[in-house]
Amino acid sequence: MTPRLSSTLRGSDPEREHLSETGRANEALRVVWAGYYADRGLLVLSFVWIAGRWFKRQMIAERPEALYEPLTWLGAVAFPEPISGAAWYGIAASMAGAVGLCLWRPRLIVARVAVAVCALLLMATEFAYGKIEHVNHLFLLAHVYAVFLPVGRPGNGESIGLQAEATRWYQGGLLFLYTMAGLWKFVDMTLRAALKPGMTWLHPEATPALVALSYRVHDFSLAVPQAFYEVRWLFPVGYVVLAFLLAPAALAPFRRPLLLLILPTVVLFHLANALTFYALFLSTIAVAVVLFTPYDLFVPAVRRSLTPVEHAHFEGTGAEARYRRRYMTRDVDVFEGFYAYRARLEDRMWILAAPFYYPGAVWLAERLLRTKPPQPST
Amino acid sequence: MTTPQRLTATKALILAGILLSYGSYGVYKLGGPIELYPFFYWRLYSAPVGADVSVTHRIYARGASDAAWQRLPVRPTRSYPRKEYAWQLESLVGKALRDSLDRTDARERVALFAREVAPDAAEHRIVAEIIYPQALAKGIIHYDTTTVFHFAR
């Protein structure tokens, strides 16, 4: 990755953020460990997922065969007729075995491919009854993108940095789904609203109407959508806030404190969709929590593996601020201006620094800092 | 495979996934299938389609000795969760309606589904219910109906 791309993705400025060798190593270790635990969690969750597919299989097996109609190209090619019990159990067992292999040997490409292919095949058998549901898609994509991932316990030397970068790209690639969802909203709020007549999500009655439609389509009581109508002014505000929160989702793995904003947004987004549109992406929530939780913040073993900070010092104000972080190895990280404030906040508590990793926050804060009058000397 | 090679391959896979997702949208816009599995374009709920008027279908059933038709609400069955019942019904009815010259078995499949849901009924009707979501949200409960299919044993 070019230095310019790297600094853009990370929201950093190499002229104002000087990470020492120890600082870079600590940062990489944290990412690699977080990715390792996420992968362990995903693999364990995969066993639960297979069990869930078994329960679904029991239900689908009761449906008349004449109603089976594969909706995906994979389903049409692999299963032009409803899958037999033996074939289904064969694929499920293969997937379970491959997951077990991945737990033992996380980088075994053959096992990773087997997990991804089996998961895609199992879902293809279900996508044959009226609609392709997206609810398991994050899970599927997580296994597809993990095929070559150099996941595992941290290696040595240069490989840690490469492992960390791969983990960031992996998580960013998955979160790009939400970035796309957020970006579409901006297009709809602007271009579509200008070019096409009709209701947009910025209309206060849009969400209550669509909630009423969802509830009516599923023959639920209309009490909830009618209650939403009473607070309809909240929804356009929520829509705009959601668009702004989802759009930078893919950057969060590169600006890791931002994960503390993005992950709750993703969870609340899916919970809200479950309540309003009966879009039951509850398993997606489990996958997102497993994959994007910053385990390095609270797993003691990870904290112990890092080189401790011996001393941190902040001086100056505004654009002249300096924050120095000295490690036990005597290496020193130096941050200047806005980055000094952000680093100090980050060392105190990630959630305090998270908003300052939002795209554009640097630009805004730097301009404010430059216009900040010098403090009188005491 | 070395770690640098794995990093490059991971990035390539992700980039391919992103391009295929947008490509999936392009294919859809050109009249192709809905989405290129498993690369979806994530434009879900980007526009409140159906807020003005929407059509949903329901199965109405009547026993041999009954005079009145009974509306069967969407509900979980032994083989269909609630959501999938609604999807399956809409999908089958939609295909049957598009097959106006009755050249496929689409109508038979609708009848099969109706009998699956209400096996004891002697007759089934598929009724289009024209609903007005904005009015529903305000508490105005009203919908118009029209029969689209009628099946008798």
Alpha helices, DSSP H, located in A188-258? 193-195, 206-217, 223-230, 234-246
Q: Which residues are CB-contacts of A249 (< 8 A; sequence separation ≥ 6)?
A: A175, A176, A178, A179, A182, A262, A265, A266
| DSSP 8-state secondary structure symbol assigned to residue A318 | G
pTM for this entry: 0.92
What values do phi and psi take at B62, rounded to 5? Answer: -145, 135
Tens-digit pLDDT profile for residues B24-44:
878 877 877 666 777 776 665
Contact A132, A71 (CB under 8 A): yes
Q: ∠ at Cα A277 (A272, A283), nearest 5°?
A: 60
Tens-digit pLDDT profile for residues A289-344:
999 999 999 999 999 999 999 999 999 988 889 999 999 999 999 999 999 999 99
> CA–CA distance from B57 to each of A101, A204, A276, B101, B130 (Å)?
47, 27, 21, 20, 9
Give the three-state DSSP class for A106: coil
Stretches where chain A sits below pLDDT 50 are: 373, 378
Residue B58 clears pLDDT 90, i.e. is over it? yes
Percent of chain B at pLDDT > 90 equals 63
Q: What's residue A131's pLDDT?
A: 86
Residue B56 clears pLDDT 90, i.e. is over it? yes
Task: Give burial (CB, 10 Å; 0-12/13-18/19+) of B50.
Answer: middle
Exposure of A205 in the CB half-sphere (CA atoms within 13 A): 13
Contact B130, B143 (CB under 8 A): yes
Tens-digit pLDDT profile for residues A110-128:
999 999 999 999 999 999 9
Tens-digit pLDDT profile for residues B107-144:
999 999 999 999 999 999 999 999 999 999 998 888 99
Determine whether the interchain pair A212/B11 forms a contact, defined as Cβ–Cβ distance below 8 Å: no
B106-115 CB contacts, 8 Å cutoff, 24+ apart:
B107/B149, B108/A66, B109/A66, B109/A67, B110/B149, B110/B151, B111/B149, B111/B151, B112/A64, B112/A66, B112/A67, B113/A64, B113/A67, B113/B59, B113/B88, B113/B89, B114/B59, B114/B61, B114/B151, B115/B151
Determine whether the interchain pair B133/A210 forms a contact, defined as Cβ–Cβ distance below 8 Å: yes
Q: Which residues are CB-contacts of A70 (< 8 A; sequence separation ≥ 6)?
A: A76, A79, A80, A124, A127, A128
Determine whether the interchain pair B86/A155 forms a contact, defined as Cβ–Cβ distance below 8 Å: no
Amino acid identity for residue A52 in this structure: G
Provide the residue count of chain A: 378
Report chain B residues whose CB lies below 8 A from the CB of A217.
Answer: 54, 56, 74, 86
**Angstroms from A277 CA to nearest CA on chain B:** 10
| Interface list for A 258-277 with B (CB within 8 A) | 273, 277
Q: Which two tokens stand for residue A8?
A: 């853009």
Determine whether the interchain pair A212/B133 forms a contact, defined as Cβ–Cβ distance below 8 Å: yes
- Chain B residue with minimal CA distance to A131? B87
Determine whether the interchain pair A206/B48 forms a contact, defined as Cβ–Cβ distance below 8 Å: yes
Residue B74 clears pLDDT 60, i.e. is over it? yes
**The residue to which tokens 């941050």 are assigned:** A335
Looking at the complex, does the CB of residue A212 fall below 8 Å from at least one CB of chain B?
Answer: yes
Determine whether the interchain pair B6/A216 forms a contact, defined as Cβ–Cβ distance below 8 Å: no
Q: What's residue A249's pLDDT?
A: 96
Model-level ipTM above the cut of 0.85: yes
Task: Give burial (CB, 10 Å; 0-12/13-18/19+) of B1.
Answer: exposed
Alpha helices, DSSP H, located in chain A? 3-10, 21-60, 73-78, 85-104, 109-126, 137-145, 158-187, 193-195, 206-217, 223-230, 234-246, 259-277, 282-292, 300-305, 338-348, 350-353, 361-371
**The residue to which tokens 């398991």 are assigned:** A136
Looking at the complex, does the CB of residue A283 fall below 8 Å from at least one CB of chain B?
Answer: no
Report chain B residues whose CB lies below 8 A from the CB of A208.
Answer: 134, 137
